[in-house]
């Protein structure tokens, strides 16, 4: 049986990287046979968001976003991480079989501290909580963007260490799954670095009107003249257009940029096309998002139904783990 599972932090508004790298795959996986678990990682978000109202509203926005983009809570178990206490119980068990060295090698931790984020113990042990998320549901496939691959590999290691330490088969080995192309697995931000909520270079998927124009205006360009022939691979706006356009049209833009001359598009032209394609792609989902958000009680109720199903699964796995290590 295939069990899909993934999570996303409610640490801000979902951006293009979250959508193309993760959310779109999560929704699409519902068409595949198997069980589907998707959750809002509010415990993880506490490592960076320390404002109760902001966290509460981010959680609802994230739920409304998933439903608007097609997640069906009847087909997938959709819930809030903190509604499943078994996950924190499993976190402790995994902490006891995980070496400090494994965590010290985590790219995400190193990147965040290098950017000046002051590390708490929670940020350091973040991959253990994430491994517990994955292992608590016997997940076999974890659809994520490229930045999370190492975390899934750590979950594989922790599962193996626990099983070996207690001579058991308690935890199932999970595999990660990346989107089809590299461009989707690592979407760039407005500054050309990886797009991330923690780096302030992210663009909200449901941005529209003047705000969208402003956001697109912030995408990094240079001062070269449009008529100068350029390698399109070095034009950040082309990477953004690639997320939205069909190959045929995209290749036409690339060709014109490569040729230069009087017919070559300026950065302004590329921005206009990007805004248009963006609005067209997300307008229907944006309307549904507003509708879901207008009824927070219904969102909360749907999350609680998912939580009930998630707890049922996770408590079985927790019991297996407790028994194996002598806690029962
Ligand atoms: P952020 O880095 O903005 O805090 P999260 O860590 O909550 O985003 O990521 C949620 C999901 O979105 C993960 O599966 C992650 O791999 C994916 N993701 C995040 N940023 C990108 C990106 N720039 N490109 C592709 N996927 C991404
Ligand atoms: N750490 C993931 C991220 O920032 C979110 C996450 C938490 C997750 N638990 C998970 C992803 C379990 C996949 C599986 O993107």
**Catalytic residue list contains 112:** yes
CA dihedral 295, 10, 127, 167 (to 10 degrees): 0
CB atoms within 10 A of CB 115: 12
- pLDDT at position 160, please? 98
Instruction: Tell me the three state secondary structure of residue 15.
Output: strand
**Catalytic residue list contains 248:** no
> For ligand 2, is residue 139 a contact (CB within 6 Å)?
no
Entry pTM: 0.96
Task: Summarize pLDDT for 253-310 with one digit per residue, the tens.
Answer: 999 999 999 889 999 999 999 999 999 999 999 999 999 999 999 999 999 999 999 9
Question: Residue 192 carries which DSSP code?
Answer: S
Q: Which CATH architecture has domain 197-289?
A: Orthogonal Bundle (1.10)
Are both 3-186+296-325 and 197-289 of the same fold? no
Which residues, including other chains, have CB under 8 Å from residue 166's CB and lie 6 or more apart?
A: 324, 325
| Separation of alpha carbons 84 and 299, rounded Å | 17
Alpha carbon of 82 to ligand 2 centroid (Å): 13
Identified catalytic residue from 194, 213, 214, 256: 194
- pLDDT at position 115, please? 83
Residue ranges of the chain with pLDDT lower than 50?
none
- pLDDT at position 108, please? 87
CATH number belonging to the domain at 3-186+296-325, selected among 3.30.200.20, 3.80.30.20, 3.40.50.620, 3.30.465.10: 3.40.50.620
Ligand 1 pocket check: which of 6, 10, 19, 22 to mutate, most ligand atoms within 8 Å of Cβ? Answer: 22
Alpha carbon of 239 to ligand 2 centroid (Å): 25
- pLDDT at position 272, please? 97
> What are the residue ranges spanned by the domains of the chain?
3-186+296-325, 197-289
Which residue's C-alpha comes closest to atom 3 of ligand 2?
8
Which residues, including other chains, have CB under 8 Å from residue 289's CB and lie 6 or more apart?
A: 64, 65, 68, 206
Task: Summarize pLDDT for 165-199 with one digit per residue, the tens.
Answer: 999 999 999 999 999 988 899 999 999 999 998 78
């Amino acid at each position: 049986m295939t069990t899909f599972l993934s999570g996303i932090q409610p640490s801000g508004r979902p951006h293009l990287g979250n959508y193309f790298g993760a959310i779109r795959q999560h929704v699409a996986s519902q068409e595949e046979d198997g069980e589907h678990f998707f959750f809002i990682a509010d415990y993880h978000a506490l490592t960076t968001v320390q404002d109760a109202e902001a966290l509460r509203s981010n959680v609802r926005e994230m739920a409304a976003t998933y439903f608007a983009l097609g997640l069906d809570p009847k087909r997938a178990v959709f819930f809030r991480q903190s509604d499943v206490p078994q996950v924190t119980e499993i976190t402790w068990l995994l902490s006891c079989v995980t070496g400090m060295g494994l965590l010290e090698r985590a790219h995400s931790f190193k990147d965040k501290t290098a950017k000046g984020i002051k590390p708490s113990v929670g940020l350091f042990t973040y991959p253990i909580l994430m491994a517990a998320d994955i292992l608590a549901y016997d997940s076999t496939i974890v659809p994520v963007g490229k930045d999370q691959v190492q975390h899934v590999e750590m979950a594989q290691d922790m599962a193996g260490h626990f099983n070996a330490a207690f001579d058991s088969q308690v935890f199932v080995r999970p595999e990660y799954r990346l989107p089809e192309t590299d461009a989707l697995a690592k979407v760039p931000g407005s500054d050309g670095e990886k797009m991330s909520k923690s780096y302030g270079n992210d663009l909200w998927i449901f941005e529209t009107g003047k705000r969208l124009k402003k956001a697109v205006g912030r995408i990094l360009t240079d001062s070269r003249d449009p008529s100068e022939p350029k390698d399109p691979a070095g034009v950040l706006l082309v990477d953004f257009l690639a997320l939205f356009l069909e190959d045929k049209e995209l290749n036409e833009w690339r060709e014109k940029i490569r040729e230069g001359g009087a017919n070559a598009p300026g950065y302004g032209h590329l921005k206009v096309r990007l805004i248009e394609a963006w609005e067209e792609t997300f307008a229907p989902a944006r309307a549904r998002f507003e509708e879901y958000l207008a009824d927070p009680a219904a969102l909360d109720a749907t999350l609680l139904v998912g939580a009930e199903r998630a707890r049922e699964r996770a408590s079985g796995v927790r019991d297996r783990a407790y028994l194996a290590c002598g806690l029962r």
